[in-house]
Copies of this chain bind each other. A is one copy, B any other.
Amino acid sequence: MEEKAVIKALAALAQASRLRVFRALVVAGRPGLTPGALGNTLGLPPATLSFHLKELAHAGLVSLERSGRHLIYRAEYAHMNGLLAYLTANCCEGEPCAVVASTSCPC
């Protein structure tokens, strides 16, 4: 993962409404959530929510799929894991160190 993508992802998450949206999608897992459901849960007006979802999608942290007249948003676990890995890479000059924020999420 490149620095630019990392910064975009971090910036996307560094905002209360977006972090909540993303967390809700992370918890939701495979089935994902529609903007309507997210809006109800989090109490965000449609325009605001749409703005933030686009921001998250741009950052690669969520994906969307149309299903009838609904959209389904899902967390992109691989991208999130790339982000975590970037932050911990080459930690501590090779000293023994348990971070190496693991792996991938096969949800």
A-side interface residues toward B, CB under 8 Å? Answer: 3, 6-7, 10-11, 13-16, 19-20, 23, 26-30, 77, 80-81, 83-84, 87-88, 90-93, 95-107
B105/A99 in contact, CB under 8 A = yes
Interface of A is mostly: helix
Docked Cα-Cα span, A93 to B33, in Å, equals 13
Q: Which residues of B contact A19 (CB under 8 A)?
A: 3, 6-7, 10
| A14 partner, pick from B14, B84, B93, beta carbons under 8 A | B14
Once A3-B19, A10-B10, A16-B7 are accepted as A-B contacts, the answer to whether A88 and B84 lie under 8 Å apart by CB is yes
**What's the Cα separation between A105 and B97 when bound, in Å?**
5
Q: Closest chain B residue to A22 by CB distance?
A: B87
30 contacts between A and B (CB under 8 A): A6-B19, A7-B19, A10-B13, A10-B14, A11-B14, A13-B14, A13-B87, A23-B87, A26-B87, A26-B91, A27-B92, A29-B92, A30-B95, A77-B91, A77-B92, A81-B99, A83-B87, A84-B84, A84-B101, A88-B105, A91-B105, A92-B105, A92-B107, A96-B106, A97-B107, A98-B103, A99-B103, A99-B104, A100-B102, A101-B101
